[in-house]
Amino acid sequence: MPYKTPVSVLVVIHTPALDVLLLERARHPGFWQSVTGSREDGEALIETARREVREETGIDVAMGGIVDWHTSNRYQIFAEWRHRYAPGVTENTEHVFSLCLPEPVAVTVAPDEHLAWRWLPWQEAAAACFSWSNRDAILELPRRLARDMPEPLHGKP
């Protein structure tokens, strides 16, 4: 079995109203997170994000919609998962993306990875995440959406 690459993506799926999709880890019931996954075979990070969204939720974003935040986090790989990486690899670099959907949708989770899914208001979603980097990305959503929204046309209805 080839080793995993210590480069991954985090994709925060949300609505314009800032409801956030969380997935419950199969191997850790009670641990909630956004879509995550490791890069495979040198694929572009945006392709990793699209693949992971499709694999973990059934949502097909092949035509776009995922936004690269150009932000990354480095963290220690949990000891229980280090066997998946080459000997001596202890850190992972996670690249942050988001996907805005018009409204909450039902998803199909990968049963070997996740037990359940739920949509929560952003503050509740951030509090429910076990990962600090996932929590911080969700807490950044209101600022990011406000920054990325077009300016209103003054004097126009």
Q: Show the tokens assigned to 155.
A: 């004097």
Instruction: Assess if residue 155 is contained within a domain.
Output: no
Judged against a pLDDT cut of 90, whether residue 151 lies above it is answered with no
Average pLDDT over residues 80-104: 92
Within a domain: residue 60? yes
Tell me whether residue 154 is in a domain. no
Distance (Å, whole) CA 25 – CA 31: 6
| pLDDT for residue 42 | 87
pLDDT mean over 109-119: 94
User: Based on the structure, what is the number of domains in the chain?
Assistant: 1
Q: Return the top range by mean pLDDT from 40-44, 62-66, 137-141.
A: 137-141
Domain assignment present for residue 21? The answer is: yes
Tell whether 108 is covered by a domain: yes
Mean pLDDT of 116-145: 96
Residue 10, burial from CB neighbour count under 10 angstroms (0-12, 13-18, 19+): buried
CA distance 2 to 85: 8
Q: Please check whether residue 1 lies inside any domain of the structure.
A: no
Is 124 among the domain residues? yes
Average pLDDT, the chain: 91
Q: pLDDT-based confidence at 157, cuts 50/70/90?
A: very low
CA angle 133–40–66, rounded 5-degree value:
55
What CATH number is given to the structural domain containing 111?
Answer: 3.90.79.10
Q: Residue 131 falls within a domain, yes or no?
A: yes
pLDDT tens-digit map of 30-46: 999 999 999 998 899 99
| pLDDT value at residue 146 | 84
List the beta bridge partners of residue 146: none
**% the chain with pLDDT above 90:** 75
Q: What is the domain range of residue 120? A: 7-148
Q: Are 138 and 20 in contact (CB under 8 A)?
A: yes
Q: Mean pLDDT over residues 118-126, rounded?
A: 98
